[in-house]
Structure 1
Amino acid sequence: MTIGLLSAPTNLGLRPPAPTSVPGCAKAPEAFREAGLYRRFAELGAREHGVVLPGRYADDATPGALRNQAAIVEHARRLAGRIDLLRDEGLAPLVIGGDCSILVGAGLALRRAPGRYGLIHLDGHTDFRHPGNSDRCASLAGEDLAAAVGRHWPAIADLDGLGPYFRPEDSVHAGCRDDDDALDEVTDSLGAVVPASRIRRQGVEQAAREILEVADRADLDGYWLHLDVDILDPTVMPAVDSPDPGGLDAAELTGLLAALAPRAIGAQVTVFDPDLDPDGAYARLLTDVLVAGLAALGDDRRSAGSVVP
């Protein structure tokens, strides 16, 4: 299947890194372009389909609402529309973010499409903060998985009355650290959870098999693949909003993506921060990982219900 590249350079879901400043991940698509990612995917046959620009960032969180909530909702609806168009053309969308808030737009697109879809959430954190377990809800990039499975405020988790965008039992998280605050709750809520320590211990092939047993079931019509690059260890990838030790190395992530991408209907890449990569070395490393890991995105959609051999 041909990949449709779409840029979504939003930073709306993140807290400001310092007073009066804004998060740098909105610069990620152009940093990846400079590193050759768009060119290399084009050489593999991918088509570029423009950009969905976000509204202006504002540190405006108030009790009972997210920071930039109105702008996030507006961006999610426009992003969903663009994902719809790519899928209507028979393309596998590859959305280059931006922060993890773009998961709401992807979920909205799939929820209003015919069929039932799963989610594979590859992330160094569970991103499961929500009003039921925290009084600090404010930044959707740390709450995106909770919103995607219907655990957040309806204003973000039930857009157009379509929540949850993914059923919890159809969703898998992989990559969090063993000390993640929400690990127990996520394990009790989702179809499967595979922490980074288990991926490293049992190997990528077995981890992919466990993930696909949930997300690639025969009763589903496909799954969306979310990647937050902070799944990588900070010794490998420090250019992220919240680096935590205990992550994967580049080869492990490449192998995991390569095992999961062929069966996915689309994917997104989030939270790389070029402000923390002044010489572009980390953008080039990620470009190598993403091109090798996602080159076959959507190529084997026939195989719903199968697992890695």
Structure 2
Amino acid sequence: MLALVSAPTNLGLRPPQPGSVPGASKAPEALREAGLFELLRVGGAREAGAIVPGRYVDDDATRPPGRVRNESALVAHALRLAGRVGTILDAGDAPVVVGGDCSVLVGIGVALARRGGTGLIHLDGHTDFRHPGNSGACASVAGEDLAVAVGLHWPAIADIGGLGPYFAPGRTAHLGHRDDDERATEARDLLGAVVSAREARQTASATTAARIHAVAGTGYWLQLDVDILDPDVMPAVDSPDPGGLDTGELGALLRELAPRAIGASITVFDPDLDPDGRCARALVDLLAAPLTTLGSALR
């Protein structure tokens, strides 16, 4: 059974303007209003509550070196989310974490590391591989979550409870970055598989999925940042970049990947950038059917 968790956090994002607050925390309720939760419940999912974050603060002027934005609140949220994900998995259900920004991967990683670890499939329009070893501008975990997940970031977020790396780099696959992503070469050198959006478009989805499955194994976590989609079809994201997948391409991949996943997270949709709800409805149309197959190959 799917277990639906709302994780309405924006703690890992930079402010749109100084002193302002990102809108990604509104995504779970916007997607609920657009019908995602109801469609999944009809398919047999259950509600598993919400993990409410601490207050977002634009702390750029006061944050000391060596800390990420909203670090204390982000770690506290990650630990609460880890507890919820662990409880769901212990019950034999498949968590679907609806964010919020992709800093939710920290808490998910903690939960899975506590259980001995799994593979990770990271679908994202960016590698999210910024870390202190390659950048002096580390601050926003939503642009650094994959580096955190494989243990390359500051220990306060990448080694919570001595559990890092949350995912072994050799069992981690990333797909979806654009050709100009400056961290892609480093990611290719360290991770089990790295596939650009262009490569994915040029290759049959079953072939790409087989390549990724060979790295992540069976029973992996599936993290989807919706900015993997091209801005022509999904402009309501924090960092839209041209050259992404269309809904048909992403849908085909999800149909291949979801059945072998133990859980999934959906992140970085920003309802503030979707005033008429068009993007929310498009995401519901794209995600509902693949998510109903989550974990079906593991049963």
Task: Tell me the TM-score normalised to structure 1 length.
Answer: 0.94
Deviation, 1:116, is 3.3
Residue 88 of structure 1 aligns to which amino acid in structure 2?
Answer: D
Alpha-carbon distance between aligned partners in 1 of 2:133 and 2:19, rounded to the nearest angstrom: 30
- The residue aligned with 2:179 is 178
Deviation, 1:161, is 0.4
- The residue aligned with 2:220 is 223
Alpha-carbon distance between aligned partners in 1 of 2:9 and 2:161, rounded to the nearest angstrom: 21
**Aligned positions, number:** 296
Matches within 5 A, 1:6-45: 6-45=5-44
Alpha-carbon distance between aligned partners in 2 of 1:16 and 1:146, rounded to the nearest angstrom: 21
- The residue aligned with 1:100 is 102
Matches within 5 A, 1:207-246: 207-216=208-217, 222-246=219-243
**What SS does structure 1 have at the residue aligned with 2:187?**
helix
Of the three residues 231, 236, 254, the one matched with 2:251 is: 254
Q: Does 1:62 align with 2:64?
A: yes
Unpaired segments of 5 or more residues in structure 2?
A: none
RMSD: 0.9
Alpha-carbon distance between aligned partners in 2 of 1:280 and 1:294, rounded to the nearest angstrom: 21
Q: Does 1:295 align with 2:292?
A: yes
Q: Does 1:142 align with 2:135?
A: no
Deviation, 1:256, is 0.7
Deviation, 1:292, is 1.9
**What SS does structure 2 have at the residue aligned with 1:137?**
coil
- The residue aligned with 2:275 is 278
Of the three residues 262, 266, 269, the one matched with 1:269 is: 266
Of the three residues 75, 78, 81, the one matched with 1:79 is: 81
Alpha-carbon distance between aligned partners in 1 of 2:35 and 2:189, rounded to the nearest angstrom: 41
**What SS does structure 2 have at the residue aligned with 1:180?**
coil
Alpha-carbon distance between aligned partners in 1 of 2:286 and 2:127, rounded to the nearest angstrom: 22
Residue by residue over 1:154-180, the C-alpha shift from the partner in whole angstroms, topping out at 9 and shown as x without a partner, is 010000001000010010000001110
- The residue aligned with 1:194 is 195
Task: Tell me the TM-score normalised to structure 2 length.
Answer: 0.98
Of the three residues 87, 90, 96, the one matched with 1:88 is: 90
Residue by residue over 1:188-246, the C-alpha shift from the partner in whole angstroms, topping out at 9 and shown as x without a partner, is 000000110011011212111111111116xxxx2100000000000010000000001
Alpha-carbon distance between aligned partners in 1 of 2:92 and 2:136, rounded to the nearest angstrom: 42
**What SS does structure 1 have at the residue aligned with 2:136?**
coil
**What SS does structure 2 have at the residue aligned with 1:265?**
strand
Deviation, 1:3, is 0.5
Deviation, 1:102, is 0.3
| Alignment check: 8 A CA contact 2:2 2:44 kept | yes
- The residue aligned with 2:131 is 130
| Alignment check: 8 A CA contact 2:95 2:263 kept | yes
Alpha-carbon distance between aligned partners in 2 of 1:116 and 1:248, rounded to the nearest angstrom: 29
Matches within 5 A, 1:115-126: 115-126=116-127
Residue by residue over 1:55-101, the C-alpha shift from the partner in whole angstroms, topping out at 9 and shown as x without a partner, is 00011143210000000000000000000111111110000000010
| Alignment check: 8 A CA contact 1:254 1:292 kept | no
Alpha-carbon distance between aligned partners in 1 of 2:204 and 2:239, rounded to the nearest angstrom: 25
- The residue aligned with 2:49 is 50
Alpha-carbon distance between aligned partners in 2 of 1:243 and 1:203, rounded to the nearest angstrom: 25
Residue 253 of structure 2 aligns to which amino acid in structure 1?
Answer: L
| Alignment check: 8 A CA contact 1:256 1:293 kept | no
Residue 92 of structure 1 aligns to which amino acid in structure 2?
Answer: A
**What SS does structure 1 have at the residue aligned with 2:202?**
helix
Unpaired segments of 5 or more residues in structure 1?
A: 303-309
Identity of matched residues, %: 64
Residue 227 of structure 2 aligns to which amino acid in structure 1?
Answer: D
| Alignment check: 8 A CA contact 2:18 2:58 kept | no
- The residue aligned with 1:305 is none
**What SS does structure 2 have at the residue aligned with 1:246?**
coil
Deviation, 1:109, is 0.2
**What SS does structure 2 have at the residue aligned with 1:300?**
helix
